[in-house]
Structure 1
């Protein structure tokens, strides 16, 4: 059974809580989504609030994936560039699949749905994302068609004496 994807779902309290729970669960099982485990919902809460505020301003769009039970199982946020010389590409942020669904190909499905969604945004020719080095994420994104276009060594400090590369990846849509 695959996920059902929706671009631009209505933001309800249930969706907000679902994003918060998803982000917490992904982080606490080792996911590289801006935090380091262990983390609480309260520590994460400001980030989805920022994302949802950017959605309200039209600077972001949300793609959700729901499982057969209707539970939030995956997300990806698109960030739109406001600089006139960069409006032809979008950022992909906070790409997450719930740990209970990992290993079923849903990450690949999410990335394909994100690519399809980006093609509906007028004038968008590419998707950029960054990922934390040291976890094999760049191999996953490369398998989805992304190319590594840059790397900043040691730019992400996850713990004392544990710095990771910040890896920049690009997917042309043409």
Structure 2
């Protein structure tokens, strides 16, 4: 782990994501997925034609109250990113979900993921007024351990919910961060 923290940037509106940042986010998503990362595309390889529409849906849905994009930069380059979302339906508006947590393969082990998750916790609590965060992860990838070190706890599993290939079914692990 490096002693230098990444610079974190937050987007709360589509206009906060200029074209160069959009391209960098798409490229990051492609690189993470093609390296085997569990960030939303289960069947690599993918390219920008796959990732760009999915990123555009996230960016176009940004809003200070409902959806935030958090980007980690190292040396001016996107090192990782995630999305925090809340549903405004009154019964569930007190909690949010974290989606697409990813760190570039070459930036792993330097604290990027931990920095993103710590900032997500703070933003969810202090800026979005949330009381808890939820996250679903792919079993068998060691992600439960990573998130556990950050204070998350497993609250459930859907056995064999994710089919990566005809011979590779994985649990979907449901995790909770409460209190924030």
Q: Which residue of 2 aligns with 1:77?
A: 83
Give distance in 1, aligned partners of 2:95 and 2:157. Answer: 19
CA distance in 1, matches of 2:81, 2:109: 16
Of the candidates 108, 115, 127, which is equivalent to residue 109 of structure 1? 115
Q: Find 2:10's aligned residue among 7, 11, 17.
A: 7
**Secondary structure in 2 matching 1:86:** coil
Q: Distance in 1 between matches of 2:11 and 2:81?
A: 11
Aligned length: 173
Contact 1:65 1:74 (C-alpha < 8 Å) held by counterparts: yes
* Residue aligned with 1:78, SS: strand
Are the equivalent residues in 2 in contact too, given 1:119–1:173 (CA < 8 A)? no
2:134 is equivalent to residue 128 of structure 1: yes
Give 1:37 shift: 2.1
* TM superposition shift of 1:58: 5.7
Deviation at 1:103, TM superposition (A): 1.2
TM-score under structure 2 length normalisation: 0.90
Deviation at 1:82, TM superposition (A): 2.1
Which secondary structure does the structure 2 equivalent of 1:30 belong to?
A: coil
Q: Secondary structure at the match of 1:72?
A: strand
CA contact (8 A) 2:64 2:128 kept: no
Task: Select the residue among 56, 80, 92 that pairs with 1:49.
Answer: 56
TM-aligned CA distance change 1:13 to 1:22, over 3 Å: same
CA distance in 2, matches of 1:114, 1:51: 16
Gaps of 5+ in 2: none
Gaps of 5+ in 1: none
In the superposition, the TM-score normalised over structure 1's length comes to 0.93
Q: In structure 1, what is the Cα distance between the partners aligned to 2:129 and 2:119?
A: 18
CA drift of 1:98 comes to 1.0
Q: Distance in 2 between matches of 1:25 and 1:79?
A: 23
Maintained 8 Å contact 1:150/1:168: yes
